[in-house]
Chains A and B, each alone.
Chain A
Amino acid sequence: MEKQEYTITIYTENSIGMIGRISTIFSRRKINIESLNTSPSEVEGIHRFTILITEIEEVVRKLCRQIEKQVEVLKAYYNTNDEVIWQEQALYKVPTEVITEKVYVERLLRQYGASAVVIRKDYTVFETAGHREEIDKLTEELTKYNLIEFVRGARIAIIKESAGFHAKLKEFERREPSEEVVENEYLEKGDDVFTM
């Protein structure tokens, strides 16, 4: 079996420490997480993790079983690239003079569909979204023109065949609404609240 990119989608309770519990399942096996995104899901109270790794299917399947074993995990899916619609976002900061003076750079940005977020005298910030290769190519080109700063976001992905689970998830939350997260209320209040 060949290693390939897999997008792992995990639905969890929104509880503190989930990133740690999930990430150790990968690090324990010395598997590198290429990107990780956490966000709310379409259902209130349920969190969604999107994790990208390159592995063989057997390993990914076992990982998902271990992830689902966690008490606060509802479901873990894994998909190959052709089973998901995915995007990565990137921000680029380049000297404004480069864009005004170099026609090639302007073309380049048009070609990649980059749009300006901030334009200042000294620098301009562009954003673009797309697949990894496109972003990498643009980065490579811009490096030649004094790219000041670059950041790429984690992969986010929508599973093509997810209608079934979406309905289940909605029903699940409707029947048993999620509990509120209790956070530490006492940091910075030490002096008022307690003395040893």
Chain B
Amino acid sequence: MSTLEKTESKECAKQPQPISQLKGSQAVLEALLCEGVDTVFGYPGGAIMPIYDALYDYNEKLTHILVRHEQGGIHAAQGYARTSGRTGVVFATSGPGATNLVTGLADAMIDSNPIVCITGQVFASLLGTDAFQETDVINITAPVTKWSYQVTEASEIPTAIAKAFHIASTGRPGPVLIDITKNAQMELFDYLGYEKCTHIRSYRPSPIVRKEYVQEAAALINSAQKPFILFGQGIILGRAEQEFKAFLEKSGIPAAATVMGLSALETDHPQHVGMLGMHGNYAPNVMTNDCDVLIAIGMRFDDRVTGRLDKYAKQAKVVHLDIDPAEIDKNVQTTVAVWGDCKETLPQLTELIDKKEHTDWLEQFRTLEKEEIKEVIQNELHPTGDVLTMGEVVHLLNELTGGDAIITTDVGQHQMVACRYAKFNQSKSNVTSGGLGTMGFGLPAAIGAWYGAPHRDVIAIIGDGGFQMTLQELGTIMQFGAKVKILILNNQFLGMVRQWQQLFNEKRYSFVNITSPDFVALAKSYYIDGQKVSEREQLKTALKTMLDHDGAYLLEVMVGKENNVFPMVAQGTSVSEIRLK
């Protein structure tokens, strides 16, 4: 079980306390303290006022970050969860407060982020009456939550929240929503203390590992001539980075990451052959259709990874390790499925595999990599033209951070460039919206990422389009001082859609031309320092100024307007048909 680490709070009594009368709202906050929560992202409103009233007295024990929009709140909680490995917590009011969470819930659901959302709800007596700020939030959010529950009586609160944290953080993590009616927040009830939930009878966080499948998988791996590993976020969620590395190094097999799996293995590792998928690296895409055994670990064969399914790795036998039984055979037919938490299954597999070195096979990846360097990477990282490329900005950033920073990104061209070229030395460093592709994710996620890992540098790489979707969160940065570095790569277009319109719609640029405000002046209005550069000779100094600045900083870099991200697996084509230009 990937039970997320929780620090036991001193305020939380281990033994059931003598019966005391507590308000529902106080019980909510007591529950959070007992779960080791230190930071909550939220926004008050009518139906959640009793909880905010109680929060007034918990100010020293709980840090509450007042965001500027509930969507910002939940993305911040996601960022927090992703860099800290703990559960992110969000408060929002009923009605619009709750519906504003929906995008973030969907994002957290598809990217498996442990999140607990607590929403206020109208009085239980008013449910179903179209009361002021009433929405049926449980039903609206059902498809995008791992679990949800409506509390109508104060006495239900401790159990409901305990279950919420257990469900959100175990097995394949996900978002949970607890909707609490106002009367339940206000009522006094006999509080018996808080008991963490460790078991729910109908819920199996991770399947039991079947030894025979591990043995079958090992036999297949041992017999392989050209095995290839694909790794995803499951490694990070399962805290199995070390176990994965041990497996990898004993096996000698080349390994490629999904977008969500990036940073689970340091970029410089000799067996790391790059990123998979539509804008991934050349070699791993091509070799997917050349390997004889494909070993997928904690990844879910998203369509952006597989390209055309009927031409995906048809020659290979597939070993799939996953904690979620529903992922097995969902998109790609497996030969051997190893169900279970990879923290458990990987060491068992490592023990059974032969120590090998696939030198020649690995060399084939490196040969293809050279081709990609020549055709794509060289021009992207060391361009000879006048216009700046996104790649050279990320490359320079690598030089300055050494690969130690946390990178959050928004969605689009800059995201793919950042994922392709950013260097990661340690796990939990890549915070991006992988599955849902939520524009507007980058800035609020960076705020949360900083609270989740306040001693690390957090750089939010964002496009000019996505930044304008959630730029109100500059207000949150201003008020609470998150030291977030905002790097806007401005190509004056909604670049990814423009790229597709260029390649597939005969350059019919339909509403991709987006104008922007003066971002630096905008930041300044929020008392955030910044500058804008468009010349190559200014770039390095500007990046350095940004990194050295003690506090938040906004750097806008004007990049080539019509640069494209390559390589690319065009829609409807096979991974091995990946285009270099």
Chain A residues near B (Cβ < 8 Å): 12-13, 16-17, 20-21, 24, 28, 62, 65-66, 68-69, 71-74, 172, 176, 178, 182, 184-190, 193-194, 196
B143's nearest neighbour on chain A, judged by CB, is: A24
B333's nearest neighbour on chain A, judged by CB, is: A58
> If the complex has contacts A68-B326, A69-B324, A71-B167, are A187 and B142 also in contact, measured as CB distance less than 8 A?
no
Q: Name the residue in A16, A17, A186 with the highest tally of chain B Cβ atoms < 10 Å from its Cβ.
A: A186
- B183 at interface, CB cutoff 8 A: yes
Q: How far is the CB of B339 from chain A (nearest CB, A)?
A: 11
Assess the B147–A186 pair: CB atoms within 8 A: no
- Per a CB cutoff under 8 Å, which of A17, A21, A65, A189 touches B325? A65
Tell me which residues across on chain A come within 8 A of B146, comparing CB atoms: 71
Assess the B125–A20 pair: CB atoms within 8 A: no
Q: With A186-B152, A194-B183 given, name 4 new contacts (CB 8 A).
A: A17-B138, A185-B124, A186-B125, A194-B186
Assess the B128–A187 pair: CB atoms within 8 A: yes
In the complex, the 4 A-B pairs of residues with the closest C-beta atoms, listed nearest first: A190-B125, A186-B124, A65-B326, A186-B125
Tell me which residues across on chain B come within 8 A of A66, comparing CB atoms: 326
- Per a CB cutoff under 8 Å, which of A172, A193, A196 touches B201? A172
- B361 at interface, CB cutoff 8 A: no
Assess the A71–B127 pair: CB atoms within 8 A: no
A173's nearest neighbour on chain B, judged by CB, is: B201
Chain B residues near A (Cβ < 8 Å): 123-128, 138-139, 142-143, 146-148, 150, 152-153, 156, 167, 181-183, 186, 200-203, 324-326, 328-330
16 sample A-B contacts, Cβ–Cβ < 8 Å, listed by A number: A13-B202, A17-B142, A28-B143, A65-B328, A65-B330, A71-B167, A71-B200, A72-B147, A72-B203, A186-B123, A186-B125, A187-B128, A189-B125, A190-B123, A193-B125, A194-B125
- Per a CB cutoff under 8 Å, which of B124, B139, B202, B325 touches A184? B124
Assess the A186–B183 pair: CB atoms within 8 A: yes
- Please report the C-alpha to C-alpha distance between residue A68 and residue B325 in the assembled complex, in whole angstroms: 9
Q: How far is the CB of B255 from chain A (nearest CB, A)?
A: 27
> If the complex has contacts A17-B139, A69-B326, A193-B183, are A187 and B203 also in contact, measured as CB distance less than 8 A?
no
Q: How far is the CB of B148 from chain A (nearest CB, A)?
A: 8
- Please report the C-alpha to C-alpha distance between residue A176 and residue B150 in the assembled complex, in whole angstroms: 23
Tell me which residues across on chain A come within 8 A of B125, comparing CB atoms: 186-190, 193-194
Q: What secondary structure prevails in chain B residues at the interface with A?
A: mixed
A63's nearest neighbour on chain B, judged by CB, is: B326
- Please report the C-alpha to C-alpha distance between residue A74 and residue B186 in the assembled complex, in whole angstroms: 35
> If the complex has contacts A20-B139, A24-B143, A194-B183, are A62 and B124 also in contact, measured as CB distance less than 8 A?
no
A27's nearest neighbour on chain B, judged by CB, is: B143
Q: Name the residue in B124, B148, B329, B330 with the highest tally of chain A Cβ atoms < 10 Å from its Cβ.
A: B124
Tell me which residues across on chain B come within 8 A of A71, comparing CB atoms: 146-147, 167, 200, 202-203
Assess the A190–B325 pair: CB atoms within 8 A: no
Assess the A20–B142 pair: CB atoms within 8 A: yes
- Please report the C-alpha to C-alpha distance between residue A100 and residue B147 in the assembled complex, in whole angstroms: 57
Tell me which residues across on chain B come within 8 A of A182, comparing CB atoms: 152-153, 156
> If the complex has contacts A68-B325, A172-B201, A182-B153, are A24 and B142 also in contact, measured as CB distance less than 8 A?
yes
Assess the B127–A187 pair: CB atoms within 8 A: yes
Assess the A184–B127 pair: CB atoms within 8 A: yes
- Please report the C-alpha to C-alpha distance between residue A69 and residue B202 in the assembled complex, in whole angstroms: 10
Q: How far is the CB of A175 from chain B (nearest CB, A)?
A: 8
- Per a CB cutoff under 8 Å, which of B126, B147, B330 touches A190? B126
Q: Name the residue in A17, A20, A71, A194 with the highest tally of chain B Cβ atoms < 10 Å from its Cβ.
A: A71
B152's nearest neighbour on chain A, judged by CB, is: A184
- Please report the C-alpha to C-alpha distance between residue A186 and residue B131 in the assembled complex, in whole angstroms: 15
Assess the A176–B201 pair: CB atoms within 8 A: yes
- Please report the C-alpha to C-alpha distance between residue A115 and residue B320 in the assembled complex, in whole angstroms: 56
Tell me which residues across on chain B come within 8 A of A62, comparing CB atoms: 326, 329-330
B151's nearest neighbour on chain A, judged by CB, is: A182
Assess the B202–A73 pair: CB atoms within 8 A: yes
- Per a CB cutoff under 8 Å, which of A24, A74, A185, A187 touches B202? A74
Q: How far is the CB of B200 from chain A (nearest CB, A)?
A: 7
- Please report the C-alpha to C-alpha distance between residue A190 and residue B128 in the assembled complex, in whole angstroms: 12
> If the complex has contacts A69-B324, A185-B124, are A21 and B200 also in contact, measured as CB distance less than 8 A?
no
